[in-house]
Amino acid sequence: MIEMTMRLEPTICCPQAWYRVTENDYRGSGYERGHLCPSAGRTGTVEANDATFLMTNMQPQLHALNAGPWSVLEIYGRQLARAGKHVAIVAGGIFHAQTTTIGPGIALPSANFNVLLVLMPGQTR
């Protein structure tokens, strides 16, 4: 298992003037830094795994979601891929114009989604 800490984005990712979220911004909020693309899904190379620890790959999640159904779905997606299926995943949060924030203005999603599109090899639709 690769142990990593969260990292700030390279300056080529976001304009220099933008605030860069840090681990400290989540402290005491009651929310975890939930991976949108999980570390366990990117173990082919150190570089691929390292990229999952960028803060732009995180969104606030309650532990009950992050360690519960979110984790179960991630594990299921990896099982499908190991079984030879093609799996495309889209994950994120749903935000409203008026939203609650943590830290210096990190928006809390009102809901989260994690969608798996599963195709058999050679299947086009």
Annotated catalytic sites, by residue? 35
For residues 93, 58, 91 and 80, what is the CA-based torsion angle, rounded to 10 degrees?
-150
Which residue type does 90 have?
A: V
63, 21, 57: which is closest to 39 by C-alpha?
Answer: 57
Longest dimension (CA), the chain: 48
